[in-house]
Structure 1
Amino acid sequence: MPRETLTRGQIVRAAVELLDSDGIEGLSMRQLGGRLGSAATSVYWHVQSKENLVVLACDAVWEEIDLPDLDGTDWRGAATTMAKGMYAMILGHPWLVPAMSTHLVYGPGKARHDDHLLGVFETAGFTARDADQATKVVFTFVLGTAVGAASEAAWKARLSRGGGDEAERLQETITRMTEVAMRFPRLRAQSEGWSADDQGVTAEHDLDFGLQTILDGLQVQLDARSGVGCTEPCSGPG
């Protein structure tokens, strides 16, 4: 594709697809150019560097998160929708977390998300300062919860790209992890107490439980600020 007809948007979309399939280590300007039918030099002309391309790709995937209507949804429902959207987005792009650990990511995609999440809490009645703190708590929790699942997805993808029997290598790793856990009493008791059903819902349960706990705590602060449930004057948070 000639330089004149190639656009930055096309390059970023192709980069996201390549990152999804091959991970950070598989991203190269030459391979990306091949996907686009263009020379690597044309790709560089539009995005300057591979490092800048990674930042652009990271920011682009934040556009995938749906933003709930602030007027038509209660604040807890809106915060939950955005948190689950972020979680699903990260799992859909397992390369994002390692990329964000080495690149400063901030652009219109992430800014759009951050601004709307602030709006969720400000609409609920939180002050600007408390809304900022609330967004950080939710963001950090969702990111932390998604790291494990995203890392597992990225690891499995590397196994499949590496050839060999993926299922066998996965089972070998699980066996080694179990052997280590069995050396510690609480981990052993926890592992022995799990049922097949428990292991099938762990990730979703962790996300739902954590979100409810966080939002319950924020609700207490919000009620204290508005005086709901107080028999004596409430000082409120902050």
Structure 2
Amino acid sequence: MARQAPARRQPLSPERIYRTALALIEENGVEDLSMRKLAGVLGVDAMSIYHHVENKQALLQGVFQTVQEELPLPDPMPADWKEALRQLGKGFHQVAQRYPGVFPAMITSAYGTEREREIFHYIQRALQTAGVKEQDMPRATSALYTYGIGMANVAANGLRLRPLYGEPETDRHEAHGTSEADAEFSIEMMLAGIEHLVGRSG
């Protein structure tokens, strides 16, 4: 009887590392993620990961980039700036629904990603079309991005009030996100705010 060839080992790559880390975050949270646990799931020695990822912060940045790349940026951008930002807002909501566990850490991270830069440029182009003045552009872009990603996090995870001192912590899986209709309401409120800003400055 012919001997069966051993199963071919899947090569280690940054993409495989980031996807596996993302799955672990969604299952157990960012705080529980470690290089040792990640290596165990990947079936490799922990030092092998460091050939592809410098440290845990770099690992998280790769995970954030992976998630953000699933946010579509239509090219060409819709001629109607409202529709362009509306699609972006809905995209944020959909990605947050897909990966609710990673969003809180992504929002509070001190470091950005290349994809985040692309999203900022997309927002700026839409705001220029809307008529936002150059001097208002940095604040408007930052506010819009913060609002969009924060709204998406609330839509996926619900509004989490910090517990009072001495009260028991609630399980992180207990909170329920808001509906798609709630997300759309938030997006339209955001667009109305931009219109008001343009009208006032005009």
Task: Pick the aligned partner of 1:66 from 41, 55, 72.
Answer: 72
| Higher RCO (CA-CA < 8 Å; seq separation 6+) | 2
| Residue of structure 2 equivalent to 1:117 | 123
> Which segment drifts farther, 150-159 or 102-111?
150-159
CA distance in 1, matches of 2:180, 2:15: 33
Deviation of 1:60 after TM superposition, in Å, equals 2.2
> What per-residue deviation string (whole Å, max 9, x for no partner) do you get for residues 213-236 of structure 1?
2212322443455xxxxxxxxxx2
Please report how far the alpha carbon of residue 120 of structure 1 lies from its aligned counterpart in structure 2 after TM superposition: 1.4
Identity, in percent, stands at 31
The Cα RMSD (Å) is 3.4
Deviation larger for 125-134 or 208-217: 125-134
Contact 2:64 2:113 in 1 (8 A): no
SS of the residue 1:64 aligns to: coil
1:65 match: secondary structure: coil
Report the equivalent of 2:139.
133
Asked whether the equivalents of residues 70 and 119 of structure 1 are also in contact (C-alpha less than 8 Å), the reply is no
Which one has a bigger Cα radius of gyration? Answer: 1
Structure 1 residue 125, shift from structure 2 partner: 3.1
Distance 1:75 1:135 in 2: 13
- TM-score normalised by structure 1 residue count: 0.64
Distance 1:98 1:209, change over 3 A: closer
Per-residue deviation at 1:156?
9.8
Supply the distance in 2 between the matched residues of 1:72 and 1:211 (Cα, whole angstroms).
Answer: 16
Report SS of the residue matched to 2:73: coil
Matched, 1:40 2:16: no
How much does 1:70 deviate?
4.6
Confirm or deny: 8 A CA contact 2:81 2:130 kept in the other structure.
yes
Using the TM superposition, give the Cα deviation of residue 64 of structure 1 relative to its aligned residue in structure 2, in angstroms: 0.8
CA distance in 2, matches of 1:101, 1:16: 15
1:106 deviation in Å? Answer: 0.9
Structure 1 residue 74, shift from structure 2 partner: 0.6
Match of 1:23 among 26, 29, 43: 29
TM-score normalised by length of structure 2: 0.74
1:207 to 183, 186, 190: 183
How many matched pairs? 187
Per mean C-alpha deviation after superposition, the further-off stretch among 44-53 and 58-67 is 44-53
Distance 1:48 1:104, change over 3 A: same
Amino acid at match of 2:13: T
- 2:111 maps to 1:105: yes
Give the CA deviation at 1:99: 1.4
Give the CA deviation at 1:75.
Answer: 0.3
When residues 124 and 102 of structure 1 are mapped into structure 2, their CA distance, relative to the original with a 3 A threshold, is: closer
- State the match for 1:87 in structure 2: 93
Of stretches 150-159 and 205-214 in structure 1, the one that deviates more from structure 2 is 150-159
- Specify the alignment match of 2:150 in structure 1: 144
Greater helix fraction, Structure 1 or Structure 2: 1
71 and 8 in structure 1: CA distance in 2 versus 1, 3 angstrom threshold: closer
Give the aligned partner of residue 192 of structure 2: 216
